[in-house]
Amino acid sequence: MSSKTFNLQVRDDQVGVITMDIAGESMNVLKAAFADEIAALLAEINANTALKGLVFISGKPDSFIAGADISMLDGCKTADEAAAIGRMGQQMFDRLEQLAIPLVAAIHGPCLGGGLELAMACHARVASSDNKTVLGLPEVQLGLLPGSGGTQRLPRLVGLQKALDMILTGKQLRAAQAKKAGLVDEVVPQSILLEAAVKRALKGKPQREAAKLNMVGKVLERTGFGRNVLFSQARKQTLKKTQGNYPAPLKILDVIKAGVDNGIRAGLEAEAKAFGELCMTKESAALRSLFFATTQMKKETGAGDTKPNKVRKAAVLGGGLMGGGIANVTATKAGIPVRIKDINAQGISNALKYSYSLLEKKFKRRFISKADMQKQLLLITGTTDYSGFHDADIVVEAVFEDLALKQQMVADIEQHCNENTVFASNTSSLPIGQIAAKAARPQNVIGLHYFSPVDKMPLVEVIAHETTSAQTIATTVAFARKQGKTPIVVKDGAGFYVNRILALYMNEAANILLEGEPVEKIDKALVKFGFPVGPVTLLDEVGIDVGAKISPILANELGERFVAPAAFDKLLADGRKGKKTEKGFYRYGKNVKKGQKVVDDSVYAVLGVTPAPRLNRDEISSRCMVQMLNEAARCLEEGIIASARDGDIGAIFGIGFPPFLGGPFRYIDQLGAAELVAQLRNLQSRFGERFEPAALLVSMAEQQQKFYP
């Protein structure tokens, strides 16, 4: 086995095959350290005058190049140092593009970031039709932009509109979509990928064609006036989406415009400079920390060295919205056969219909084939009794929030399943220890708290009670990960972690509303702060009745500060449950245009308040936020979460805490514990004990400590 990462082998037909394979790694990533090796490789290529063409391929079975090694950037102390990394990549790919003989990229598996930048520097691209093959420039998700020519090459290949859409969102294309866009030249089965690429290389160097555009595209992209309209609209939409909280998308627009207006050289110089500047922003540092944290978590079992048991078959109790969603991700993401039990056939029918409609959307958008769709649907079956449950390795319970009912479910599963079957409860508020209180095998009982909608929300909380075994924890964490989720292990207790920090944030929004601040003003303040939706909208979405049910449980277990304002009772007495009954804080139904948000003004009379704006936007967001931050610190203090890292991941993936702030704990570090304690004490003097600072924050303020030293 060669210790080199890039190996050149010349075939009998005089086509050189360059294979990239980083020893000891599951994925290929580009590193600055490869510069010398690539320079030597290019010298070898230029010295061989018999070569007719080249093919660049990965030696990894399931990936091309997953991007650049992000950890390189952490060593950079200045923007100039980071810009130099970008320039090095640009020069390397320029040399590939300037080769006299054709160079073809043979792409199978993820081709992302620097991997796609390399592929675009090749003279042609052939991709495998495999579902694993995706192409994209996801740098914006790290608060960066493509720094090795990607902002300049992509618009020339696919046109300006498509390139802006891809680079501003980090969107990834499947092979067929990439071909349609003009990003790849040919899509073939993986079995003939290399031969198809060789054949293309032997055809000679293709002429670089301009991106194929329709009439509207030509007007927008090939006239100065059209381009100005395009960039101005893109800027407007970007600011609306990001609320100005993310610097990268605006820099991306500037850099692409520089290349379009002043040529590729000016564009590349602007790209390297902007790349360096973005590397130094606190937003990129926060987003990169998130990337490292999730990567690190993928290697953990949640239970030390304990290895998980393999889950070959799963079952779900309850065919409601949650049960249907859990069954869906088990079959479609994990590929595990799943059996749904409901008390009647209608429940099972609803759950099956839920998966069918999600898969049909994917099929219509050409993400999956008809055969794939049918194969995944066949993994989901239903029953009104416990037939077929005997060999289930894990049973996820998604029934009503009723303790006696959940205890009955545990007893039923112990009777109908084997002695190692894991019983996972998708409760959002009941302590797992209470659910396991009457169990014959409490070591098999665990919490597995999903967020709605299950197919979209990335987080699950894995909740271990006092006697949950390490084996059960490891098996449940591995199962959740196979479903495409990011699991965090939390200690048992009312509300666990995510709902606990969310409850105080929502309560404070309700208090502000009862003081007379208008509904839309509260929502706008928190959206501007960086949340995907405001707290009042969220309450309408989740259900006012759900909030009302959880509050007493939390107040009973955790004390006075969780007592909800009187708003809930008044709203429910008026029949307002939110969006699901088309009656809440906002108006719903036929008279409201799609995408429009109109406050139902009659809600103020129900609450007994007259809207009178007094607070500014920052005062509203600050009051809600400090409650969440304070409670997050309490959860860490009590060992509900194991680390600040887990708390940050939980808040971002579970409730949409602004990712550019890095999570509650990174944000506290940014504010300073002393500043947060001062804000809490000020509010405590005005509004009472619900703002009392957590003991952990007080001691950290005194000792000037940080969660991430």
Given a cut of 60, whether residue 105 has pLDDT beyond it is yes
Dihedral of alpha carbons 581, 585, 587, 588, sign:
negative
Given a cut of 60, whether residue 1 has pLDDT beyond it is no
CB 664 within 8 A of CB 501: yes
Claim to verify: residue 448 and residue 542 sit in the same structural domain: no
C-alpha closest to that of 324 among 426, 458, 444? 426
Q: Where are the alpha helices (DSSP H) in 222-344?
A: 224-242, 247-262, 264-279, 282-297, 321-332
Token pair in block for residue 345: 């056939």
Higher-confidence position of 4 and 270 = 270
Beta bridge partners of 18: 8, 56
If one counts the domains in the chain, the total is 3
CB 144 within 8 A of CB 76: no
Beta bridge partners of 460: 450, 487
What does the alpha-carbon distance between residue 70 and residue 3 come to, in Å, rounded to a whole number? Answer: 22
Phi (first) and psi of residue 191, to 5 degrees: -60, -25
Q: Cα 179 to chain center, whole Å?
A: 26
What is the four-CA torsion angle of 645, 651, 653, 658, rounded to 10 degrees? Answer: -100
Given a cut of 60, whether residue 692 has pLDDT beyond it is yes
pLDDT digits (tens, 9 = 90+) for 323-332: 999 999 999 9
pLDDT digits (tens, 9 = 90+) for 230-250: 999 999 999 999 999 999 999
Q: What is the pLDDT of residue 2?
A: 54
Claim to verify: residue 476 and residue 532 sit in the same structural domain: no
Say if residue 372 is exposed, middle or buried (CB neighbours under 10 Å; 0-12, 13-18, 19+): middle
Average pLDDT of 63-69? 94
Q: CATH number of the domain that 427 lies in?
A: 3.40.50.720
**Is the residue at 297 inside a domain?**
no
Last residue of a domain, one of 451, 472, 493: 493
Q: What is the pLDDT of residue 215?
A: 80
**Is the residue at 646 inside a domain?**
no
pLDDT digits (tens, 9 = 90+) for 423-460: 999 998 789 999 999 999 999 999 999 998 899 999 99
Claim to verify: residue 505 and residue 479 sit in the same structural domain: no
Claim to verify: residue 480 and residue 507 sit in the same structural domain: no
Which residue type occupies 562?
A: F
Average pLDDT of 146-154? 97
Claim to verify: residue 229 and residue 190 sit in the same structural domain: yes
Tell me the CB-side half-sphere exposure of residue 449, using CA atoms within 13 A: 28
pLDDT digits (tens, 9 = 90+) for 395-424: 999 998 889 999 999 999 999 999 999 999
Claim to verify: residue 195 and residue 342 sit in the same structural domain: no
Global pTM reads: 0.91
**Is the residue at 209 inside a domain?**
yes
Claim to verify: residue 489 and residue 508 sit in the same structural domain: no
Given a cut of 50, whether residue 139 has pLDDT beyond it is yes
Claim to verify: residue 96 and residue 235 sit in the same structural domain: yes
Claim to verify: residue 554 and residue 611 sit in the same structural domain: yes
Given a cut of 60, whether residue 618 has pLDDT beyond it is yes
**Is the residue at 289 inside a domain?**
no
Could you identify the residue written with the tokens 């050149």?
A: 8
Claim to verify: residue 394 and residue 460 sit in the same structural domain: yes
Supply the DSSP symbol for 533: S
Average pLDDT of 538-561? 88
Average pLDDT of 48-64? 95
Q: Cα 488 to chain center, whole Å?
A: 14
pLDDT digits (tens, 9 = 90+) for 453-500: 899 999 999 999 999 999 999 999 999 999 999 999 999 998 899 999
Average pLDDT score over the chain:
94
Could you identify the residue written with the tokens 């409860």?
A: 425
Average pLDDT of 610-628? 96
**Is the residue at 645 inside a domain?**
no
**Is the residue at 298 inside a domain?**
no
Given a cut of 50, whether residue 174 has pLDDT beyond it is yes
Rg (CA), the chain: 28
Q: CATH number of the domain that 537 lies in?
A: 1.10.1040.50
Claim to verify: residue 483 and residue 524 sit in the same structural domain: no
C-alpha closest to that of 182 among 161, 202, 210, 149? 210
Active centre residues (catalytic)? 461
What does the alpha-carbon distance between residue 465 and residue 140 come to, in Å, rounded to a whole number? Answer: 39
CB 103 within 8 A of CB 123: yes
Q: Cα 192 to chain center, whole Å?
A: 34
Token pair in block for residue 448: 């597995």
Claim to verify: residue 47 and residue 27 sit in the same structural domain: yes
Last residue of a domain, one of 493, 526, 543: 493
Q: What is the pLDDT of residue 369?
A: 85
**Is the residue at 157 inside a domain?**
yes
pLDDT digits (tens, 9 = 90+) for 350-400: 999 999 999 999 898 877 889 999 999 999 999 999 999 999 999 999 998
**Is the residue at 599 inside a domain?**
yes
What does the alpha-carbon distance between residue 47 and residue 181 come to, in Å, rounded to a whole number? Answer: 36
Q: What is the pLDDT of residue 53?
A: 96
CB 198 within 8 A of CB 287: no
Last residue of a domain, one of 459, 474, 493: 493
Host H or E run for residue 107: strand 103-107
Token pair in block for residue 707: 């969660």
- What's the pLDDT band for 206 if we cut at 50, 70, 90? confident
Which residue type occupies 631?
A: E
Range of the domain at 605: 499-640+672-703
